[in-house]
């Protein structure tokens, strides 16, 4: 799978075409940013957060990702690992993209013990 494949996008996923770190073209989703950016208190805070969000790439949450996350959830439950479903979806996204998940949440370390999730924990640095 491409790092950030260009797909047929719905009107809700409009954004600008960008190039990912591997030179592949992708489309960065813009509508998720409104909630984050709308919560800032100052123009300086807005600009700082916006510049960081601009550096991120959107991972499409399509049906195959939800199916993959569901299977991961079942697998983890059978192993006795109980983590929030949001963390399972994040882990499944990273796994499908073959990305290393950098985190400060011990749930991802637990998921990585029973799956192919590659993690880098920043917990020791806090």
pLDDT digits (tens, 9 = 90+) for 43-77: 999 999 999 888 887 788 899 999 999 999 999 99
Q: How confident is the model at residue 41 (pLDDT cuts 50, 70, 90)?
A: very high
Could you tell me the pTM of the whole model? Answer: 0.63
The answer to whether the CB of 95 falls within 8 A of the CB of 68 is yes
DSSP letter at 100 equals E
Which is it for the CA torsion 117, 18, 20, 6, positive or negative?
Answer: positive
* CATH 3.40.50.1010 at 63-125, yes or no: yes
Domain range summary for the chain, segments of one domain joined by +: 11-54, 63-125
Q: Report helix, strand or coil for 126.
A: coil
d(CA 116, CA 95): 7
d(CA 82, CA 45): 36
């Amino acid at each position: 799978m491409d790092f950030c494949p260009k797909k047929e996008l719905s009107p809700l996923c409009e954004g600008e075409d960008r190039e990912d770190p591997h030179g592949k073209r992708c489309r960065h989703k813009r509508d998720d940013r409104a909630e984050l950016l709308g919560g800032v208190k100052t123009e300086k805070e807005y600009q700082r957060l916006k510049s960081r969000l601009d550096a991120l790439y959107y991972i499409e949450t399509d049906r195959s990702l939800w199916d993959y996350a569901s299977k991961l959830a079942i697998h983890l439950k059978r192993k006795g690992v109980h983590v929030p479903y949001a963390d399972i979806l994040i882990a499944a996204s990273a796994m499908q993209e073959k990305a290393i998940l950098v985190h400060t949440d011990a749930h991802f370390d637990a998921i990585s013990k029973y799956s192919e999730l590659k993690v880098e924990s920043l917990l020791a640095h806090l």
